[in-house]
Amino acid sequence: MLQNEFSRLGTTREKSSSAVPEEAAEFVIDSERRMVVVRFRNRVTGADIADYVKRMACHPRFEPSFSEIVDLTGVKDLDLNADDFLRLADQIDPFLADAKRAFVVRTSVQNHAARMHRILRVHRNIEIFRSFEEAEEWLGL
């Protein structure tokens, strides 16, 4: 399962993490499956998301056509305002319109943040799930 990718990276998978793991996003780029899995934890700001996107987009294995699973289940505080949501959707999001995006949430606040991104990216292929298994199934994994 991709949920365990952070602990079992192979030769076609790359892991990148920030210098401050408590606040940073960890991500895995799986070239073989053509996807990215990102896990956000604790407090998340617009700057944290922009930093993740910048690191991922600069990675030599990343392609904008990849699918993505965004794990928000470890987020305790989402410090995003309306301007952050608009900037993230309109200027920062690096994925192509036909790339499949799955958000995994546990709380209503996490669900609201994922819904805001889906609403602002109406031509995107974005769904919200309560488990990694559901997200993987939807992605066809």
Write down how long the chain is: 141
Q: Is the pTM of this model over 0.85?
A: no
CATH code at 57? 3.30.750.24
Neighbours of 67 (CB within 10 A): 21
Fill in the DSSP letter of residue 65. Answer: T
Query: pLDDT tens, 46-86?
Result: 899 999 999 999 999 999 999 999 999 999 998 888 888 88
> For residue 67, what are its two tokens?
């699918």
| 99 CA to centre of own chain | 12
Whole domain around residue 89: which residue ranges? 2-139
Nearest Cα to Cα of residue 120 among 140, 101, 136, 139: 101
Structurally, the chain folds into a number of domains equal to 1
Task: State the residue for tokens 């990694």.
Answer: 132
> For residue 112, what are its two tokens?
């609201």
How many Å apart are CA 16 and CA 26, to the nearest integer? 6
Give the residue ranges of the chain where pLDDT is below 50.
Answer: 2, 7-21, 23
Task: State the residue for tokens 């470890």.
Answer: 74
pLDDT of residue 30: 94
